[in-house]
Structure 1
Amino acid sequence: MKSASKANFKQNYKTHLKHLKLKGLQPSTIDAYARAIRRIGAHFDYRLDDLSEAQLTDYFSDLLDSRSWSVVKHDLYGLKFYYTHVLHKPWTIDLIKPPKTQRLPDIVTPDEAKRLFMATRVLSFRVFFFTLYSLGLRLGEGLRLQVGDIDAGYRRVHIRNSKGNKDRFVPLPDTTLNLLRRFWRVHRNSVLLFPNRRGGVKVAHLATTSL
């Protein structure tokens, strides 16, 4: 019986992955929701078709005590997606509410930023950190930047696939533009703004992955 349940789960899991990709979710979200279903499946002996509210309450109660809110959230939303798109069942269980925390971001002062840049000896990292700071970008946004995203004429940068799969434009200061131009003359990669350094500067123009 258990082998039959596991076989059925494997088939449903494949369907789960297909729907996640078709929804155009970020790769990190797809991976998180996929791991969530594998984790929940293993916990319930791969029988997810008829879980009771009591079973789910016990599971998430234990999870809240032992794991971070990030894991709990991914399991909850991953299972909700699985119920809706794979099992075609309505999700009516209101189990958990996110903790009410309000955190302010750490603000780096110009002097602190300058010390950070000066302490970074590797040119590519120094330029990268300066670009993040001057444009107000997240780490992933900076790593995804391509040469074609720089609009020198309008002094702006096209930020693609940002939070919520949204695009936006940010102003491009002259100082940052001039620095990026000088940096590009060093690596001359036609696509990536910050190509990886594994092969050294001489082959940076051939790199296909970012820092």
Structure 2
Amino acid sequence: MTRKNQHSFEDYLNLQRVSPKTREAYLGAVSALSAFHKRPAAELTNDQIQDYLLFCIQEKKLAWASCNVLFCGLKKYYQGYLGRSEAEFSIPRRPRSRQLPRILSQQEVRAILNAHSNLKHRTLLHVVYGSGLRVSEVVKLRPEHIDSSRMMIRVEEAKGRKDRYTILPQTGLELLRQYWQAYRPGKWLFPGPDKSKHITISTAQRVYNQAAEKAGVTKGRGIHTLRHCFATHACDQGVEIFVIKKWLGHAKMETTSVYLHMSPEKVRCIKSPLDSLFEEVRP
């Protein structure tokens, strides 16, 4: 892809209000395709594009998430930016793996949340679990996003560029007040070493990994585990699934409904038709 085309596609993505992370991924997908064929991406045929996708799936063995980002980026470039018709250019989205996330018990979560002696790190983990935030959301929180009068946290420009409100638990508010008294954060609720910038996602991940190691918890993969646990534990406690959907900021109920299948408390309350059948004939 030539620099001129790249800048034009980048401008197109900016006009589409694509997030910086997604924009970088889409530009990278088109550049990688162009480099593979050693030709400008705009000159490639559908067969050449399919050859590259097969190479990524069969030879590079990309994970489903990486493949879907690749597919979406190329689809945005060819169908959105270049205006090719779907009949002329077709990229099927690779089916998502149906592996369920590993869920921690409440005791394991408690051990992780209390593992750090550093108040800032402890507060960050409490907010992620207590409000079900993505790591990209918690690092960008500002003090004014904490609405203690309504017991809500405002999440601005979350995934899909959508704002939402999620729950602010009383325990989380009390810890936030302790943290505020000790640190007096300015622009960002969780600033980095440079106070004008927020803590990075990689730092937040490291905070979680250190806490999990101290707590002796090996299940789960990264800080996003706390968000999964928030949703599952809320489901265990009887919170309606549509409320959890709003708190998490999911676009589709299908995404949230996976937590119904992961809730052991819900499963314990369900009777098999076999039990009901024989209960009727028991003396």
- Fold conserved (TM > 0.5)? yes
Give identity over the alignment, percent.
27
2:35 to 35, 42, 46: 42
Amino acid corresponding to residue 33 of structure 2 in structure 1:
I
- Give distance in 1, aligned partners of 2:79 and 2:36: 20
- Give distance in 1, aligned partners of 2:169 and 2:41: 53
Q: Does structure 1 residue 71 correspond to structure 2 residue 66?
A: yes
- Give distance in 1, aligned partners of 2:93 and 2:72: 12
- Say whether the 8 Å CA contact 1:145–1:193 is kept in structure 2: yes
- Give distance in 2, aligned partners of 1:22 and 1:208: 27
Amino acid corresponding to residue 173 of structure 2 in structure 1:
L
Shift of 1:37: 1.1
Structure 1: which 5+ residue stretches go unaligned? 1-5, 200-206
Give 3-state SS (helix, strand or coil) of 1:157's partner. Answer: strand
1:58 aligned partner: 51
Q: Does structure 1 residue 138 correspond to structure 2 residue 131?
A: no
Give 3-state SS (helix, strand or coil) of 1:148's partner. Answer: helix
Shift of 1:103: 2.8
- Give distance in 1, aligned partners of 2:127 and 2:22: 26
1:115 to 111, 115, 118: 111
Structure-2-length-normalised TM-score:
0.64
Count of aligned pairs? 196
1:175 aligned partner: 171
Structure 2: which 5+ residue stretches go unaligned? 200-283
2:22 to 15, 20, 29: 29
When residues 120 and 169 of structure 1 are mapped into structure 2, their CA distance, relative to the original with a 3 A threshold, is same
When residues 157 and 35 of structure 1 are mapped into structure 2, their CA distance, relative to the original with a 3 A threshold, is same
- Give distance in 2, aligned partners of 1:95 and 1:170: 36
- Say whether the 8 Å CA contact 2:128–2:134 is kept in structure 1: yes
- Say whether the 8 Å CA contact 1:83–1:91 is kept in structure 2: no
Give 3-state SS (helix, strand or coil) of 2:41's partner. Answer: coil
Give 3-state SS (helix, strand or coil) of 2:182's partner. Answer: helix
Q: Does structure 1 residue 125 correspond to structure 2 residue 113?
A: no
- Say whether the 8 Å CA contact 2:64–2:96 is kept in structure 1: no
Shift of 1:97: 3.6
- Say whether the 8 Å CA contact 1:148–1:191 is kept in structure 2: no
Question: Deviation digits for residues 154-207 of structure 1, max 9, x if unmatched?
Answer: 1111111222221111121221111101101111123211122x37xxxxxxx1
- Compare relative contact order (CA 8 Å, sep 6+) and give the higher one, 1 or 2: 2
Structure-1-length-normalised TM-score:
0.84
Q: Does structure 1 residue 87 correspond to structure 2 residue 75?
A: no
Runs (4+) of structure 1 moved beyond 4 Å? none
- Give distance in 2, aligned partners of 1:37 and 1:100: 22
- Say whether the 8 Å CA contact 1:146–1:191 is kept in structure 2: yes
Question: Deviation digits for residues 60-87 of structure 1, max 9, x if unmatched?
Answer: 1111111233332222222222223443
For the aligned residues, what is the CA RMSD? 1.9
Amino acid corresponding to residue 156 of structure 1 in structure 2:
M
When residues 71 and 105 of structure 1 are mapped into structure 2, their CA distance, relative to the original with a 3 A threshold, is closer
